[in-house]
Chains A and B, each alone.
Chain A
Amino acid sequence: MFRKQLTCSIAAASLSVAMVLSGSSALADDHYPEKPIEMTITFGAGGSADISGRLAAEAASQVLGQPISVVNRTGGGGAIGFEHVRVQEPDGYNIGWLSASILTTTLLGSLPQQWDDWEYVTNITVEPAAIVVRNDSPWQTMEEFLAAADNTSNRIRIGHAGVGSFTYTAAAALANEAGVEPVFVPVGKRRIPSLLGGEVEAISVHPPEAMSLLRAGEVRFLGVLAPERNAAFPDVPTFAELGYDLGFYQFRGVFVPKGTPQHVKEKLDDAFREASKSEELLSVAEEKGFGVFYIGLDEYTDFVEEQNQLLDEAIEALGIR
Chain B
Amino acid sequence: MEAIVDGLLTALEPQVFSLTLLGVVLGLVMSAMPGLTTTVAVVLLLPFTFYLDAGPSMGLLMGVFVGGMTGGAMSAILVNIPGNPASVVTNIDGYPMTERGAASEALTLAFLGSFMGGAVGLILLVLIAPQLASIALAFGAPEQFALVVLGLTLVAGFSEGKLLRGFIAAGVGLMIATVGMDPIAGMPRFTFGEVSMQQGISFIPIMIGMFALPLAIEALRSPKGQNLPPLDAPSYHPIKNLIAAVKMLPKTAICGVRSAVIGTGIGAVPGTGSAIAAVVAYECAKRFPCIRNVSFGKGNPEGIVAPEAANSAMMGGALIPMLILGIPGDPVTAVMLGALTIVGVNPGPLMLSQHPDVVYGLFGSFAIALGFLLILAIVGIPLFVKAVRIPVRILMPTIVLLCLIGSFALRNTMLDVFAMTAAGVLAYFMKRWGYPILPMLLALILGPLLETQFRMSLIISFGDPMVFITSPISAVLLLLALVFVAVMVWAEIRRPKATLMVADS
Contacts and interface: CB of A to CB of B under 8 A. Distances in A.
Interface of A: 44-47, 50-51, 54-55, 58, 69-77, 79-80, 83, 108, 110-111, 155, 157, 162-165, 168, 183, 185-190, 192-194, 196-200, 208-209, 211-213, 215-216, 218, 280, 283-284, 287-288, 320
Contacts of B426: none
A194 B137 CA distance: 8
Nearest to A83: B195
Nearest to A54: B50
Contact of B349 (A108, A155, A216): A216
Contacts of A185: 456, 459-460
A75 B200 contact: yes
Contacts of B342: 51, 54-55, 280, 284
B63 to A, nearest CB: 18
Given A193-B270, A213-B348, 4 more contacts: A47-B338, A75-B181, A190-B270, A194-B140
A213 B321 CA distance: 12
B184 A212 contact: no
Given A73-B412, A74-B411, A79-B195, A187 B456 contact: yes
B311 to A, nearest CB: 21
Nearest to B143: A197
A284 B50 CA distance: 13
B198 A75 contact: yes
Contacts of B140: 193-194, 197-199
B397 interface: no
Contact of B348 (A80, A155, A164, A212): A212
B270 A58 contact: no
Contacts of B327: 192-193, 209
B196 interface: yes
Interface stretch (B166-174, B214-222, B328-336): B328-336
B47 to A, nearest CB: 7
Contacts of A211: 326, 346, 348
Most buried by B among A76, A108, A111: A76
A194 B199 CA distance: 24
Interface stretch (B156-164, B185-193, B477-485): B185-193
Contact of B350 (A51, A192, A208, A215): A215
A197 B137 contact: yes
Q: What 3 pairs across the A-B complex have the smallest Cβ distances?
A: A212-B348, A75-B199, A76-B198
Contacts of B349: 212-213, 216, 218
B202 to A, nearest CB: 9
Contacts of B180: 75-76
Contacts of B351: 212
A284 B338 contact: no
23 contacts: A45-B334, A51-B342, A54-B47, A73-B413, A74-B199, A74-B411, A75-B200, A76-B198, A77-B198, A186-B184, A186-B456, A190-B141, A193-B140, A193-B327, A196-B325, A212-B347, A212-B348, A213-B326, A213-B349, A283-B344, A287-B346, A288-B341, A320-B186
